[in-house]
Amino acid sequence: MEQLDFNRKLSEMLDRIADMLSVDERGTVRFEVRAYRKAALSIAELDEDVRRVYRDGGQGALMEIPGIGAGISRSIIEYIERGRMRKYEMLKRRYPIDFESLTRIEGLGPKRVVSLYRLLGVKDVAGLRAALDKHRIRGLKGFGERSEEAIGRGISMLESARGRALLGDALPDAEFIVDKLRASGLAERVEIAGSIRRMQETIGDIDILAASSRQEEVMDVFSKLDSVESVILRGSTKTSVRLRNGMNCDLRVIEPDSFGAALQYFTGNKYHNVSVRKIAIKRGYKLNEYGLFNRSGKDMARSRDERWIYNRLGMDYIPPEMREDRGEIGLALKHGISDPVELGDLRGDMHTHTRDSDGMNSIEEMAEAAIRSGLEYFATTNHTKSLRIANGMNERGFAEYFKRVDALNDRMNGRIRVIKGAEVDILKDGSLDLSRKSLESMECVVASVHSSFNMDERRMTDRIVKAMDSGLVHILGHPTGRLIFKRDGYPIDLDRIGEAAERDGVAIEINSFPDRLDLCDTNIMYISKYKIRFAIDSDAHSVKHFSNLRYGVGTARRGWLTKDRILNCNEIKRLRLGR
């Protein structure tokens, strides 16, 4: 994990170079920007330390990494050998700006950030806040009063995100720690608890439980992990540390006989736990993190199994993702809990990209990765022509591309089925970004909004419903357009969207990308009253992104969805798109 921190820093530097280059108005620069973006993504997803790759194979090995060419490989070597990159330093002298923070604010891309620097001297969030407070931004060309309001909301979102991480960042780090503790052989069980186990979209800190009678030895292993930056508190039953990723992590070591009670106690949110404890009291028991006790104080079963605890209280077992006190307890008491969808239920993925638009890998590489992920089929859905920043394809481009897909399907000989499709832009007036003839030739059309986010609720809903009513759309992609920590979703009337989806046979996407998770859990619960299906999609832009599907499944489970509601839980011969 410590080794991969170097990769993260290098990836961030490559991304900042792309930000600064993107300000250049010359048309040829956009290819360089795209190259640095792809290189940043590729380094971020590399499974081994890039320094080791270079040490073992030199520049040639670096150039075997997807998206790394001769020029960028030389910059990477410079950073590895000297700890600096001249291109980055040159651009930073030209633009002494905190791009990383400022570009996370809604409505501020690199060009607008540089514009604010040149016109107002804004270099960082504090300077932006000062300019905003004095209303100096609204008078600038290309901004205005609504821009000021959007920037103000963006600053508030950025400030509220401090100390929190995306589930997609926190879960792998938690799993790394769990794997190390399990490998030590000192604990009978080690499990993730808290908000990560509930698959909450953002995480404040990491909670881990271990069952062991060798507490001091477990704590010693934990506090000396490479991923630990400092020890905040060291005790025999609880140790708190600060990780190198900036998060806090708590480890609690529990006696094995109490592990089930502890896992139940440290998983649900506080309102869920209070409600369960009240039910225990009504039944003459006492429930805490040590066990379920009767009136005489005797532990009913030493509480090794949390499932047993729920059942003993007259309830169905409640899956961790549902423990939010949103009606699940009443349902469990009525024995109405249905098993929510599981990752293993997914047969396919309906939304992926290749390097023919803005993805990292070829269609052949994506097919092999889908097979390794256990999928039976996936839809290849590259961007369409209006999304120039993503190298969107036109009608002719898709026609040529689908010939390659057909040839690939023939070569695959049934190992996997690649479905021909597109992620088509819903334009400002609700029309679609490709001709009817082109879209009718496709097996899967995912329609998404990628522009003009500042519409009011009525106009945005009209826009989306018009697209859905075209009869050409199979799936509505990332329906609210939100980006967690960066951009609120645009306002839409979920009832009108649900009615249109039911009427037109359009599935609603649960986009699994960690900074989207769109629809979110509460919106899923609301709109699922309509007779509609959902599609849990990875939105994969590289072979590594098929693993994102688990975050979409976690979100679907938080929204109480069962596999019969999920379009891509069907095997290929039963897959039905549209009405």
Q: How far is CA 378 from the centre of its chain?
A: 19
Summary count for the chain: helices (H), strands (E):
23, 16
Query: Domain 343-574 belongs to what architecture?
Result: Alpha-Beta Barrel (3.20)
User: What is the bridge-based pairing of β-strands 248-254 and 206-211?
Assistant: parallel
Q: Cα–Cα distance between 69 and 85 in angstroms, integer?
A: 16
Say if residues 323 and 267 touch (Cβ distance below 8 Å). yes
Q: Residue 472: its pLDDT value, please?
A: 97
Query: Domain 2-160 belongs to what architecture?
Result: Orthogonal Bundle (1.10)
DSSP bridge pairs for 377: 348, 417
- Look up residue 78 and give its two tokens: 């410079």
- Say how many C-beta atoms besides its own lie within 10 A of residue 474's C-beta: 24
Helices (H), 470-538: 494-504, 521-527
Q: Residue 391: its pLDDT value, please?
A: 81
Q: Cα–Cα distance between 439 and 475 in angstroms, integer?
A: 13
Whether domain 259-333 has CATH 3.30.210.10: yes
Q: Cα–Cα distance between 370 and 402 in angstroms, integer?
A: 18
Q: In the chain, where are the structural domains located?
A: 2-160, 165-254, 259-333, 343-574
Q: How many residues does the chain have?
A: 579
Q: Residue 322: its pLDDT value, please?
A: 98
Among 24, 69, 29, 67, residue whose Cα is nearest residue 358: 67
DSSP 8-state symbol, 56: H
Predicted TM-score of the model (pTM): 0.87
Helices (H), 413-493: 436-440, 457-468
What residues have CB less than 8 Å from 138, skipping those under 6 apart?
A: 144, 145, 147, 148
pLDDT (tens place) for every residue of the chain, 579 residues total = 455 678 888 998 999 999 889 887 665 677 888 889 889 988 988 878 899 999 999 999 999 988 899 999 999 999 999 988 999 999 999 989 988 888 888 778 888 898 899 899 999 999 999 998 888 998 888 888 888 888 888 888 787 777 789 999 999 999 999 999 999 999 999 999 999 999 999 999 999 999 999 999 999 999 999 889 999 999 889 999 999 888 999 999 999 988 999 999 999 999 999 999 999 999 999 999 988 888 776 665 556 789 999 999 999 999 999 999 999 999 999 999 999 999 999 999 999 999 999 898 999 999 999 999 999 999 999 999 988 777 889 999 999 999 999 999 999 999 999 999 999 999 999 999 999 999 999 999 999 999 999 899 999 999 999 999 999 999 999 999 999 988 889 999 999 999 999 999 999 999 999 999 999 999 999 999 999 999 999 999 999 999 999 999 999 999 999 999 999 999 998 888 866
- Say how many C-beta atoms besides its own lie within 10 A of residue 231's C-beta: 14
Whether domain 165-254 has CATH 3.30.460.10: yes
What residues have CB less than 8 Å from 28, skipping those under 6 apart?
A: none
Helices (H), 161-241: 167-183, 194-197, 215-223
Block residue for tokens 């961030």: 12
Q: Residue 187: its pLDDT value, please?
A: 95
Q: How far is CA 346 from the centre of its chain?
A: 17
- Look up residue 571 and give its two tokens: 């095997």
* C-alpha distance from residue 461 to each of 69, 114, 311, 479, 499 (Å): 43, 33, 44, 10, 12
DSSP bridge pairs for 513: none
Q: In what helix (H) or strand (E) does residue 292 lie, and over which residues does it extend?
A: strand 291-293
Handedness of CA 267, 269, 274, 280 (dihedral sign): negative
Q: Cα–Cα distance between 91 and 258 in angstroms, integer?
A: 57
Backbone dihedral angles phi then psi of residue 518, each to the nearest 5 degrees: -130, 115
User: What is the bridge-based pairing of β-strands 507-511 and 417-425?
Assistant: unpaired
